[in-house]
Homo-oligomer: A and B are copies of this chain.
Amino acid sequence: MNVEPDRSFDLGTYLSIRRARIDATLEKFLALEEPRALYEAMRYSLLAGGKRLRPILCLAACELAGARAEIALPTACAIEMIHTMSLIHDDLPAMDDGDYRRGRLTNHKMYGEALAILAGDSLLAHSFELIARHTTSIPAKRTLAVVAELGRAAGPRGLAGGQVKDLANEGKSDVGMEVLQDIHTRKTGALLEASVLSGAILGGADAPMKARLRRYAQRLGLAFQIVDDILDVTSTREALGKCVGNDASAGKATYPRVLGLGESRRLAEVLIADARSDLAVFGDRATPLVALAESLLQSLR
């Protein structure tokens, strides 16, 4: 699992090694049990082969802070479970009513609404148990700080609150930048930020390092959402693995809609440059996190 960041660092190799490790650990932490239908529904969405960006950020931040990535592995997996929960619930008919996700039918299309709701609840509850039970070799106080950070990111100040605001602004033609940023800070930013922070906390980062990593994550999170909005306009379903033009047809507020495509691109570039400079002080140790930020822009080319 060890990947030494250096000048010959190859992001593609790094990501595929980390992704494989995370996928194997997710599989281990969610073995099939009774009730079988529920575990199958949980595994269907969790093991559908996402990019694992959040857990990878968590592991990278833990290493940057000076600890072995293994220490953060249960938390990294828990974060992917929380992320998957929010995807399953956001896709429900009462919300975004999505048919495809990660290239396959959405959870409720496969298992029905009741199981989809309960699979989401289960992933959320299980994620906290996982962190509390399987994080070892570090002071319990750090693990508890991670629970607080992720509880906040998943709740009304994060994912759930962002989704409420998103739904409330659907179909409105006059959504301004402020509301749009608030939605994304909660819906995308909060969990990305908590992923980086959790890794940093587990790795034993001091206050100045945590502050820098938090800024990096906030900029990355915003850039991530802008790029996602842009791709929803410019990409194809085959490339994304989900329906494109979803946001526009749902009348959702997006960056291209509010700022235009060109200005959205420029904003993403500025954010990534700033994110990069947040980490300059860490030198080569920050190579993976810097490369991850820059890869976002490459997806626009």
Give residues in A with beta carbon < 8 Å to B.
33-35, 37-39, 42, 85, 89, 92, 94-95, 112-115, 117-122, 124-133, 139-141, 143-145, 147-148, 150-161, 163-165, 167-168
Copies of this polypeptide in the complex: 2
A154 to B142, CA, bound (A): 23
* Interface residue from B39, B132, B147 paired with A156 (Cβ < 8 Å): B39
A118 to B34, CA, bound (A): 26
Q: Report the minimum CB–CB distance from A81 to chain B (whole Å).
A: 10
* Further pairs besides A38-B160, A89-B117: 9, Cβ < 8 Å: A42-B156, A92-B113, A94-B112, A95-B114, A121-B159, A125-B151, A128-B151, A129-B147, A129-B155
15 interchain pairs (CB within 8 A)?
A35-B161, A37-B164, A38-B156, A39-B156, A42-B156, A118-B164, A121-B159, A122-B161, A125-B151, A125-B158, A126-B151, A128-B150, A128-B151, A129-B152, A140-B140
Contact between A155 and B125, CB atoms less than 8 A apart: yes
Q: Chain B CB within 10 Å — which of A115, A128, A140 has the most?
A: A128
The 9 closest A-B pairs by CB, nearest first: A129-B151, A125-B155, A94-B113, A125-B154, A140-B140, A132-B148, A132-B147, A128-B151, A122-B160
